[in-house]
């Protein structure tokens, strides 16, 4: 079938809307007519080849829409179902079998290889292969070939434009707090970077009952929204040593920190601003090969913990409905950071995201 998709032709190039041919579904695949897709920072760093996704490719990994066809082995979904799409995993490795698919042994292959596990692609143009299956969905398109594993049923009561970004950035930030850190009521937490992931973490910290919630950024509009969404304190990192300000606010150091910027100096400062036995969760992704220098005694002598967090340690089929329910009850107002763009305006949406004027752009197909 013929579809329209935003194709990333070369490193750093603008997205180009093109007509592609979509091949037949395989047994475990699902065809989704995409209604909306969030734009995530990960899409942009893959476009720029910080993570070497093969090009040309159709990116996008926060899609939502309606099931149009299912493969022969798919039994829990039917044509007409409303669904969101999230990350992909193999379902068979030891981590997947433990319910920890975010750390699947083939997490990179299933999400960043931009191909099926056997190396093929359902997407083509004039007989030439276009790489797809990014995060098992490639949602920058009018139609997506997903897998039965990375499709989540949605209630009729949530609009696709709201639901789409839950599939990655929102569940990542919220899950880092609610699934991984699990801060006790009254504890203190710092979130470095108040973009979509960071603001989701701020809102989750409110839900968890944290007493001190500190947002750190360099963009005044983001800090203002962080305060509106529940941050008890905000710090403009342009103003000086934000680590010292964290220690002042918390009376010696924060219990938890979530690092979303991917900047090594920010990571180190956040770590050193923790209280003894404090925990730092690393979410922000720098370019491959980027190192961070840490003073060993700053970890060893005070028992601090530093750990990576992928997709908020979420089991999407369970966690996304929970977050959507919180949104519907007014406790998780993620729609306040979203701005909708027509699909043809994808490059405008990307520009606004990179400039920081839009926190979470959502493409409407």
Cα angle 267, 103, 282; round to 5? 10
Closest CA to 67 of 27, 30, 28, 24: 30
**Is the distance from CB of 271 to CB of 297 less than 8 angstroms?**
no
Residue 351, SS3 per DSSP: helix
Q: How many other C-beta atoms lie within 10 A of the C-beta of residue 83?
A: 23
Instruction: Give pLDDT, residue 240.
Output: 84
Reported as a single tens digit per residue, the pLDDT across 4-57 is 999 999 999 999 999 999 999 999 999 999 999 999 999 999 999 999 999 999
- DSSP-H helix ranges across 131-241: 160-163, 169-175, 196-208, 220-228
**Is the distance from CB of 64 to CB of 160 less than 8 angstroms?**
yes
The domains of the chain, with CATH numbers, are: 2-167+333-364 (3.90.180.10), 170-310 (3.40.50.720)
**Is the distance from CB of 132 to CB of 60 less than 8 angstroms?**
no
Reported as a single tens digit per residue, the pLDDT across 61-115 is 999 999 999 999 999 999 999 999 999 999 999 999 999 999 999 999 999 999 9
- DSSP-H helix ranges across the chain: 41-47, 94-97, 107-112, 160-163, 169-175, 196-208, 220-228, 242-250, 264-272, 297-300, 316-328, 346-355
Instruction: Give pLDDT, residue 181.
Output: 98
Q: How many other C-beta atoms lie within 10 A of the C-beta of residue 106?
A: 17
Instruction: Give pLDDT, residue 230.
Output: 97
């Amino acid at each position: 079938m013929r579809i329209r998709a935003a194709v990333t032709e070369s490193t750093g190039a603008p997205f180009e809307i093109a007509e592609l041919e979509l091949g037949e579904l395989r047994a475990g695949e699902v065809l989704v007519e995409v209604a909306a897709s969030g734009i995530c920072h990960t899409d942009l760093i893959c476009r720029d080849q910080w993570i070497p996704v093969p090009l040309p490719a159709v990116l996008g990994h926060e899609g939502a829409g309606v099931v149009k066809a299912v493969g022969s082995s798919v039994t829990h979904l039917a044509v007409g179902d409303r669904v969101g799409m999230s990350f992909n995993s193999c379902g068979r490795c030891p981590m997947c079998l433990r319910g920890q698919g975010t750390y699947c042994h083939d997490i990179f292959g299933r999400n960043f290889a931009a191909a099926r596990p056997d190396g093929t692609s359902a997407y083509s143009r004039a007989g030439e292969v276009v790489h797809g299956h990014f995060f098992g969905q490639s949602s920058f398109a009018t139609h997506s070939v997903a897998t039965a594993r990375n499709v989540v049923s949605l209630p009729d009561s949530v609009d696709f434009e709201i639901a789409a970004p839950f599939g990655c950035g929102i569940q990542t930030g919220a899950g880092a707090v609610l699934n991984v850190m699990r801060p006790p009521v009254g504890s203190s937490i710092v979130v470095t970077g108040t973009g979509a992931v960071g603001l989701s973490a701020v809102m989750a910290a409110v839900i968890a009952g944290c007493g001190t919630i500190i947002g750190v950024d360099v963009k005044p509009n983001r800090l203002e929204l962080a305060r509106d969404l529940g941050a008890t304190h905000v710090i403009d990192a342009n103003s000086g040593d934000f680590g010292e300000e964290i220690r002042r606010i918390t009376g010696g150091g924060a219990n938890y920190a979530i690092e979303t910027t991917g900047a090594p100096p920010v990571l180190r400062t956040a770590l050193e601003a923790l209280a003894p036995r404090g925990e730092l969760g690393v979410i922000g992704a720098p370019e491959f090969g980027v190192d961070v220098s840490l003073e060993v005694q700053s970890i060893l002598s005070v028992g601090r913990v530093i750990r990576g967090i992928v997709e908020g340690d979420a089991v999407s089929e369970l966690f996304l409905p929970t977050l959507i329910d919180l949104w519907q009850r007014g406790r998780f107002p993620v729609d306040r950071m979203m701005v909708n763009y027509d699909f043809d305006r994808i490059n405008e949406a990307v520009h606004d995201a990179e400039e920081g004027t839009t926190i979470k752009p959502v493409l409407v197909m």
